[in-house]
Amino acid sequence: MFEKIRPLYDRVLIKKIEGQEEKTAGGIIIPDAAKEKAQTGIVIAVGQGHRTEQGTVIPLIVKVGDTVFFTKYAGTDADKEYTVLREDDILGIINK
């Protein structure tokens, strides 16, 4: 359902990349509540861009398919997999 959303303005839809480690080196299982929030994800959809006071639209730098690193408490969680955030909350694009 969320993959069909088209964000508005300077917002970006991110599919979070969760870490695969669920156990410590000693074999202790870490519950979901104790895990840190994911800070990397893949851009699924982008808005048309940031609108200036004069009304012109500045296109976004990130594009669909980019893997990005974003601030820890950024955006709004759409569900466990997806987050909608502003482009300003993206710290960088991860090169593959």
The 10s digit of each residue's pLDDT in 33-82 is: 545 566 899 999 999 999 889 989 999 999 999 999 998 888 888 888 89
* pLDDT score for 34: 46
- Per-residue pLDDT at 26: 65
**pTM, entire model:** 0.76
Q: What pLDDT score does 80 carry?
A: 82
- At position 27, the amino acid (one-letter code) is G
Q: Into how many domains does the chain fold? A: 1
**Which pLDDT band holds residue 6 (cuts at 50, 70, 90)?**
confident
DSSP strand pairing (82-86 vs 11-16): antiparallel
Q: Is residue 42 packed enough to be buried (19+ CB in 10 Å), middle (13-18) or exposed (0-12)? A: middle
| Domain extent at residue 70 | 2-94
| pLDDT of residue 27 exceeding 70 | no
CATH number at residue 14: 2.30.33.40
